[in-house]
Structure 1
């Protein structure tokens, strides 16, 4: 896989792939904040679908926060990465402490990003859950579970890049669209030239622009 210039290019390429099957259907595009929202916004433009956000948070291993031992999100959704939990020796108390902290952050971000607005309805529709990449798959799985709990008839995960082993066991979606699953995958950021952090203000701006589209 060639290195992507930025999240906009990633969204354009994903949108072109998804348009073959999902353009013109009753579809909602759901970005995982923060980095997945710019990708999702471009996908939504390409397939002419409404855009919303699904608030999820990774649960990082204590003292090694970059490693996901699970994830939590809206609707009380949770995923535990049992392999990481076992190998890292994370206690139940440590896990619960992390879960409480991140659930509080989920609640704050729901208000920050939606401002009290209701989520876009998913009943009977196709939900495309989008992130800027997948590592362990924990946050993606939480996002897909939330979409299904909200009544989506079909759930699709769309990511630009992911490790082959994580894709092979990912079962939270009905379909997975991934541009590349390179051997030797180390981190999502290594497949982007520009992988700058996405700020909350950018997420709010993109969601606001999407709501103004006909």
Structure 2
């Protein structure tokens, strides 16, 4: 399955979430930056509020694109112990990187939610949306954070994911929607005709317009 762009993927995803339309205490959470483009389409279709959680990847030393974990603005995080042990990543590196990425996540949360009240997910039905999964580290961190905030039910919604990552996510939440789990998976972007980078300004505009 291929998607024209993130907006198209969000609209397709929304059609598979109609059992959550106007669900009491429901809210859609987008994972910045790209996931927010899909999340706003889901929120519009389901007639639900839109908010964000800001997970940040913890990259390996000398190879920051390789995730050894992820953390959110609340400090909730997940770590790949096998990768950390294999790469002999020091406790000092993890501590320093976690603190830096936590600060970056907090900065982004403030930027993306201008004028909005503090996020309240206690006893909510939370639909988490991203533009796709690879290792799933940021989605896992978001799930852990949202659980810690007291969500009543968590739904993970993504257009595409590797089979093994999707299986791991399914174990962590109450419900999942994934439109495609292709056997040959290299990167999320390969399943989009257009996969332009989403900028901070794009997220701010989406959040401001939807929540005005």
**TM-score, normalising length from structure 1?**
0.92
- Give, in whole Å, the separation in 2 of the partners of 1:93 and 1:79: 17
CA distance in structure 1 between the partners assigned to 2:41 and 2:86 by the alignment: 38
The CA deviation at 1:168 is 1.6
Q: 2:16 is paired with a residue of what secondary structure? A: helix
CA contact (8 A) 1:52 1:119 kept: no
Q: CA RMSD in A?
A: 1.4
Superposition pairs of residues 83-102 of structure 1, within 5 angstroms: 83-102=82-101
| Superposition TM-score, scaled by structure 2 size | 0.93
By how many angstroms is 1:117 displaced? Answer: 2.9
After TM superposition, give the deviation of residue 169 of structure 1 in Å: 2.1
Structure 1: how far apart are the matches of 2:183 and 2:87?
24
Residues 148-167 of structure 1 aligned to structure 2 (within 5 Å): 148-167=147-166
* 1:23 alignment counterpart: 21
1:55 aligns with 2:43: no
Listed as ranges, the gaps of 5+ residues in structure 2 are none
Change (3 A) 1:176 1:51: same
Gaps of 5+ in 1: none
**Count of aligned residue pairs for this structure pair:** 210
Q: Is the partner of 1:76 in helix, strand or coil? A: coil
Looking at structure 1, the residues matched to 22 and 108 of structure 2 have their Cα atoms a distance apart, in angstroms, of 30
Q: Say whether the 8 Å CA contact 2:126–2:153 is kept in structure 1.
A: yes
1:66 aligns to what? 65
Segment drifting more, 86-95 vs 156-165: 86-95
Task: Give me the whole-angstrom Cα distance separating, in 1, the residues matched to 2:180 and 2:49.
Answer: 25
Secondary structure, aligned partner of 1:157: strand
The Cα offsets for residues 102-150 of structure 1, whole Å up to 9 and x where unpaired, read as 1121121121112353244322220001111111111101111222222
Q: Contact 1:79 / 1:142 at 8 angstroms: preserved in 2?
A: yes
